[in-house]
């Protein structure tokens, strides 16, 4: 249920509604917006009705939220969610997060990061912990990888996006990461999501490779429900019968998600394509569909990359791609 407060509702009135909600053994989640505050109620098993709130001072409307997700829903918050990561305002500035699939040896990682920085990249991605399909594949440098990422941050001033795969490692990863990534294989790991709901760092949640949008948004709801409202969604391709690329980029998911949620929607053309030659065209397709950012795998020596070299985008080609992104956004009047 959603309680929509009047534009002129006072903080005391909002507070009072929250207290009434709590007195009914339910949870209240005030969501301030540019126009008005909405208070989302969770935990209602049906016993509480509109009448409990309709006549409280400052209340404009009480709406039933039929969807299985509430806090992430556009119904709850009309305006796009924005938050800062370094100097970038996620959800407002178009953001490109780029870097190798895995953190590699220090000199290689720093070299790639420098090249990316020279192309205006502020957000550096690389996995220290890698959730690989097979146990014989490179599993990441682990803690040592985090130390290397800390150097990238310290020496180049880049913000760090890196994956967390275990609950026990959240604190360790959060010490270095500016954004914690949850990979496709962990989208439905609810214990991990619940723990991430308690940290004060943004989470980039990738779509599960066979997840419907309702399932995906409910995964994001786990993170918001615990109090972490800084969530980025990322479409990274889903499993289909196609055998011409690694996954099928679900372009339609981008505008559909934007309709259903206020959270920022990113796209990862690299894992969708699985092939370097498709990364640029898919990036542009995502931009045209309204993605608010991209997660790109980039490497300057793809043949020797520790993982996913077959889809690595060369930093030297970034300038060209960025120009095309600007053209697409300007052509579609997407620039802010």
With respect to ligand PEP, which residue has the nearer C-beta, 59 or 294? 294
Q: Which of 75, 104, 163, 308 is the binder for Mn ion (CB under 5 A)?
A: 308
- Tell me: does residue 99 bind ligand PEP (CB under 6 A): no
| CA–CA separation, 313 and 191 (whole Å) | 34
Count of residues touching ligand PEP (by CB under 6 A) = 10
For the bound state, the minimum distance from the C-beta of residue 183 to ligand PEP, rounded and expressed in Å, comes to 3
Q: Where are the alpha helices (DSSP H) in 189-317?
A: 190-196, 213-225, 253-260, 269-273, 276-288
- Tell me: does residue 183 bind ligand PEP (CB under 6 A): yes
How far does CA 52 lie from the centroid of its chain? 35
For the bound state, the minimum distance from the C-beta of residue 158 to Mn ion, rounded and expressed in Å, comes to 18
- Tell me: does residue 218 bind ligand PEP (CB under 6 A): no
Burial 279-312 (b: 16+ CB within 10 A, else e): bbebbbbbbbbbbbbbbbbbbbebeebbbbbebb
For the bound state, the minimum distance from the C-beta of residue 3 to ligand PEP, rounded and expressed in Å, comes to 37
For the bound state, the minimum distance from the C-beta of residue 19 to Mn ion, rounded and expressed in Å, comes to 48
Q: Which of 21, 101, 112, 180 is the binder for Mn ion (CB under 5 A)?
A: 101
| CA–CA separation, 283 and 321 (whole Å) | 8
**Binds 184, which of Mn ion, ligand PEP, none (CB < 5 to 8 A, cut-off by type)?**
ligand PEP
With respect to ligand PEP, which residue has the nearer C-beta, 262 or 271? 271
Q: Quick one: which segment of 37-45, 87-95, 111-119, 303-311 binds Mn ion (CB under 5 A)?
A: 303-311
With respect to ligand PEP, which residue has the nearer C-beta, 10 or 137? 137
What is the length of the chain?
336
- Tell me: does residue 127 bind ligand PEP (CB under 6 A): yes
- Tell me: does residue 238 bind Mn ion (CB under 5 A): no
- Tell me: does residue 271 bind ligand PEP (CB under 6 A): yes
| CA–CA separation, 328 and 55 (whole Å) | 49
CA atoms within 13 A on the CB side of 307: 23
The answer to whether 81 touches 41, Cβ cutoff 8 Å, is no
3-state helix, strand, coil in the chain (%, to 5): 35, 20, 40
Report the interface residues with ligand PEP, using CB under 6 A: 101, 127, 131, 183-185, 206, 236, 268, 271
Report the interface residues with Mn ion, using CB under 5 A: 101, 308
């Amino acid at each position: 249920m959603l309680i929509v407060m009047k534009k002129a509702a006072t903080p005391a009135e909002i507070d009072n509604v929250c207290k009434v909600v709590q007195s009914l053994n339910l949870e209240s989640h005030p969501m301030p917006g540019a126009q008005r505050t909405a208070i989302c109620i969770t935990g209602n098993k049906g016993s509480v009705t509109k009448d409990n709130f309709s006549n409280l001072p400052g209340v404009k409307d009480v709406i039933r939220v039929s969807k299985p997700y509430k806090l992430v829903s556009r119904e709850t918050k009309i305006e796009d969610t924005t938050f800062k990561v370094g100097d970038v305002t996620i959800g407002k500035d178009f953001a490109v997060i780029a870097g190798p699939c895995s953190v590699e040896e220090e000199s290689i990682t720093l070299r790639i990061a420098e090249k990316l920085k020279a192309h205006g990249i502020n957000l550096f991605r690389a996995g220290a912990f890698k959730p690989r399909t097979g146990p014989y594949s490179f599993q990441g440098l682990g803690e040592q990888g985090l130390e290397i990422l800390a150097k990238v941050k310290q020496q180049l001033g880049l913000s760090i996006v890196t994956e967390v795969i275990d609950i026990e490692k959240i604190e360790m990863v959060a010490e270095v990461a500016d954004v914690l990534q949850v990979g496709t294989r962990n989208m439905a790991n609810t214990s991990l999501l619940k723990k991430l709901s308690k940290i004060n760092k943004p989470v980039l949640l990738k779509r599960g490779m066979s997840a419907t949008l309702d399932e995906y948004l409910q995964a994001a709801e786990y993170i918001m429900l615990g109090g972490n409202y800084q969530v980025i969604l990322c479409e990274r391709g889903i499993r289909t019968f196609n055998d011409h690329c690694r996954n099928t980029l679900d372009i339609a998911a981008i505008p559909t998600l934007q309709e259903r949620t206020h959270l920022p929607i990113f796209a990862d053309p690299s894992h969708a394509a699985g092939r370097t030659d498709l990364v640029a065209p898919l990036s542009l397709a995502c931009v045209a569909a309204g993605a608010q950012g991209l997660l790109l795998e980039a490497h300057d020596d793809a043949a020797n990359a520790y993982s996913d070299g077959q889809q690595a985008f060369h930093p030297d080609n970034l300038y060209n791609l960025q120009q095309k992104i600007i053209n697409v956004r300007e052509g579609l009047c997407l620039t802010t």
